[in-house]
Amino acid sequence: MTPLAAMRILHIEPTPLAAARQGARPMARRLITRPATAAAAALLGLGLVGTAGPAQAATASAPQGATLTAACLDSDVSLSVEESRLNNTLPRSDDPSKLQSASFARKMIDGAGFQQFGPALVRNLCRTDGLAATQRLVQQQGERLWRMAVDRAQRKHGAVQGALPSSDDRPLYWARLQATAALRQWDPSFRLSAHQRSLLITQFDKVSRGMSDISFPTGGHAKHVVLSGFDPYTLDGGDVGTAPGATGNNIRHGNPSGAVALSLDGTTYTAKNGTTQAIQTYVLPVNYTEFAAGYLEDTVGPLMRSHEVTASITVSQYGGDSFKLEQWNGRYHGVSPGNDLSQPCPNVDGQAQLAIDNHGCNTQVVPRWGGPHSFQLGNPPQWTTTSLPIGAMIRANTGKNVPRPPGDTWPDASTAFGVIWHTNYTEFPDCTSPTLVTRNDPPPTTFPPPTAPVPPDPHSCAYAGGGGNYLSNESAYRNTLLRDRLGLDIPAGHIHTPGMQNFDVGDLYRPSDHTFNAWRLAIVAQTNNLVHVVGARS
């Protein structure tokens, strides 16, 4: 889609209304602009145009950013770490010494046809005059964004808007950040405490991840499958070209698990054995902060407690050319930073911290889901395990009819990707010693394996599950811990997908290309097949 004409911000001044308000809140701002067209001026006044952020030069040739401007938004308010990437811009593919015409986030939002969502939210915020009305607005608009992303992924309304493929998971992430940035910078006409604002942002964040619309049909005999995906991650770094102020091309990353969630939400499937599955999904953040706050438990816990689900699956991206079905999940976490750069358990002098007496390195559960209130090394346990039907998932040959993407190196050319029972893990055999031992490595690619895998020592401390000690492992750990604590006998476990970050040879800066899209489509198709196998046996 053609971007609106560029605009130059000349001056910012407080409005008389803001000066008359009482309290020590930031004043509302009125943007005095010189738009290229009268139509563009009208759109800016309604908050319909993204502009370059403070870190970018506000000139006529500056890239179009994704942060929004309006009379009720205060651009002086600092954004979160994730929101601060909204105006990051890649170099041009044809001339890496120059920036692209719009920030990466703007290309994602426009590329999905979502460019009116954020401005409409802001327009309504500017008119909202109370907390209760704002809470209703945030709920409605969060649900709307999630539904827009799901409907687009499933092509529910015919032709797909925007230039990006319908399967692209990234627009949801960037549109969500554009909205939370606006909520953070909103200067309302009524008193709003910092705590109330934080709750509004959290409400929108959770709702726009599909966490509040999970509903299974009543009656009948359908299996009820709930599945989680993830946001994109590792968005910093990569090739920056030579353009001043350019961002690295890691910002292009997507997450196939997020695409899987969008493709499956609200769908039904009838397996060959005649069972019908109803599937509901949600998307998790790649941040320890929200995990510690109970995002996963608050979403899945009520469904397990009421026995509404017959299977609960977590999905994330791993790498390589095979799916990995994780056997053991470890409690240890926090070595690598999340998208918000939080890092609760970094290495110290190049060495892993011990888990003992170290709450920062151990997954904690909020008290409302069993706690405990104070740190204990063995509560929750150091290890959990999968209950997915591993053998059936491997024998189903789920990649047989999935087209292999360019560069796929799985040795069996008759399938898109391999499926491996991933039984390796790393433990501290002695919780008081820094010595680490990795077991069952590498896991055999045949099933059943020639010898049974060695389970973790019951007196060991976890360092890494089969899926490492990042947030994918944490999602698997929390999900299976819920299953155990609530006494359920259902399939629950983690699917790690192949890596999706593959682009056309020589393509360093285009937001999307054939190879990238082909890998996402293939991974999504085979993951869906694996999920259906689980559902049929739940």
- Output the pLDDT for position 150: 98
Residues 6+ apart with CB under 8 A from 20: none
Q: What integer is the mean pLDDT of 396-412?
A: 97
Q: Which residue has the higher pLDDT, 395 or 20?
A: 395
- Distances in whole angstroms, Cα of residue 262 to Cα of each of 152, 259, 266, 383, 462: 9, 5, 9, 30, 32
- Output the pLDDT for position 333: 97
- Output the pLDDT for position 219: 82
**Residue entry with tokens 């904690």:** 364
Q: Which of 33-42, 105-114, 529-538 has the lowest mean pLDDT?
A: 33-42
- Output the pLDDT for position 158: 85
**CA gap 205, 76 in Å, rounded:** 22
pLDDT tens figures, 192-207: 999 999 999 999 999 9
pTM exceeding the 0.85 threshold for the entire prediction: yes
Taking a C-beta distance cutoff of 8 angstroms, is the pair 305, 487 a contact? no
Above 50 in pLDDT, residue 2?
no
Could you give the percent of the chain with pLDDT greater than 70? 89
pLDDT tens figures, 114-158: 999 999 999 999 999 999 999 999 999 999 999 999 999 999 988
**Domain range summary for the chain, segments of one domain joined by +:** 8-204, 217-536
pLDDT tens figures, 424-452: 999 999 999 999 999 999 999 999 999 99
Of the pLDDT bands very low, low, confident and very high (cuts 50, 70, 90), residue 78 is: very high
pLDDT tens figures, 457-503: 999 999 999 999 999 999 999 999 999 999 999 999 999 999 999 99
- Output the pLDDT for position 30: 29
Taking a C-beta distance cutoff of 8 angstroms, is the pair 75, 185 a contact? yes
- Output the pLDDT for position 273: 86
Of the pLDDT bands very low, low, confident and very high (cuts 50, 70, 90), residue 220 is: confident
Q: What integer is the mean pLDDT of 14-26?
A: 29
Instruction: State the fold for domain 217-536.
Output: Aminopeptidase (3.40.630)
Residues 6+ apart with CB under 8 A from 493: 313, 314, 325, 326, 385, 386, 387, 388, 476, 479, 480
Rg value, the chain, Cα: 24
Q: What integer is the mean pLDDT of 337-358?
A: 96
Above 90 in pLDDT, residue 404?
yes
